[in-house]
Structure formats: structure tokens, C-alpha cells
Structure 1
């Protein structure tokens, strides 16, 4: 009797992590071409998070379909956290390319947007205070990269936990 090969969680995490990263890059490029990349609205972050959530759920569902409708909670967690980690790495690599090649004056433009926002929100700030805040922002921009990784992994954990609890179905022991 021929034994069917079980799908692996790593394969699904990698494939759907890459797809999530590609969708995020497409969204970012869309914002770039529409001159909206410096827009400070929460809607951009919400859409990016929804893209991540949708692909994690899709990855877990597709794994379950390929695995004869069986999935354990640990498999769902592996897929969700793995896919979100791969997506975060793709996002970080894209951000590095974007800042250094596509938009080399990114930091200057971001500083100007920040400066204008600070003036609007708190007109009592002096130019020196605003310049100091922007200098600190530039100095600690590198923190963005680990924050992206941690945020993605956290979202991946929560969504895969919820999806895994909903979709789990134990395979028979025989």
C-alpha cells in the first residue's frame, strides 16, 4: 500500500511568508507611486496588518486541506509564526533596499514630515527642540528593524493560535 506524503509546516511557512512579503512590497510600491509613503495615517498600518493576517490564515487553511483535513495546534503555530518571520525578513530586506536605493533621501523626507507634524501638534516647541527630536529619531531608526520582526511574530502567534484553535482536527491514531 502506498503511503501518502504529509505536507511540512516549514514549506507552508516559507511559501506563505514569501507571498506575504511580496504582497507587502506591492502595497509599499503602490504607496510610493501614489506619493503616500510618508502619510502618517493609521490606515496604512491596518492594511499591512490585515495582509499579514489574511496570509497566515490562508497558509494554515491550505496546510489543513493538503493534510487530509487534519491539523494540530502546534502545526498551526509553526506555520503562522514561521510565515510571519519570513514575511518580516522580506519586509526588512525590502526596507533596506528602499531606503538605500529606491528612495535615497528617505531620512530627509521623513525628517521634514516629522518636523511639520510636530509643529502642527505642538506649536510651542522651538526649532531647536524639534531638531533635537529629529536627530534622535534618525539616530535610533535602526530600532525599526527589530520592531518589525517582533511585531510580525507577535501577530503571527496570536492569529495562528486563534486559527489553530478553530481549525484543529486531530488525526486518528490508527
Structure 2
């Protein structure tokens, strides 16, 4: 009999093959919820990372394209187009924020606290830094400053743990 956890992992792999990354994220979030305080396996950890990386990567690419178009339209003085583009960029930014907040919450509430091995702790802290960095790419003002500070903090923590692993080994 296959466990629910194994079934979710299998479905995440299927979703990956079908390039349905949003569903892959959902399956991997179910895996994370099913481990009950245990650590994810290396395979599960990598599947989670791939799922989120693909979901966020598509939105980041969209944001860069729209931002570039916005700059071109601004330089041409097409104010009507600029207003529409800003609204559209705002929609993408809302999606980016939701994705980043989703994985950051999962990292803080489950994954980092459950990380028993140094390797997994470093992996998750680096991941945390990455998603704060993605927020810093499009946020402005204090939100950008906070995201940048959180990025640096997470990367520094990952570096400290990485050095500790090397020292212990």
C-alpha cells in the first residue's frame, strides 16, 4: 500500500513531466504537510525547489518583459499605454508576492525548523534568501529595503551553517 506522502511525491513528478508547476507546488506542499515535523528527503526537497523555481521563474520573466515595455512606452510619451501596463505589472507583482510569501511561510513554519541535517538547513536558508531576493527585485521603498535585508540575513545564516558543516566534517 502506497502512503499519502508517496502518492503526493509521485503526483508532483507527474506534474513536473507535464510542466504543470503550479500543481507540482500544490503536491509538494501536501508532502510537506504530511511529514508531521519530520525532514523532507533530498528528493522531496529538490522537487519542492524545482516546483517553486519554475512557478516564480515564469512570473519573473513576465515582470521583466512588461517593465521593459513600460519604459519604452514612457519614453515615447504613450501615457494611456503606460497606465495599462502599470496595472498589468501590478497584477504580476501581486502574483510574485503571493508565491514568495507562500514559500517563505512554508520555510519558516515547517522546513527550516524540521531541518535536522546541516545540508538541508543550508539548502532551506539559501532558498529563503533567494525568495526574499525575488521580492527585492520589484518591491520599492521600505518593502524593498526589508526584502534586501532579509535576503542578506538568510544568505549569511546559510553561510554560517555551511562553514559549521565543513568544520564538523
Measured against the shorter chain, the TM-score band is: 0.3 to 0.5
- Structure 1 or 2: larger helix share? 2
Rg larger in structure: 1
Which of 1 and 2 has higher RCO (CA within 8 Å, sep 6+)? 1
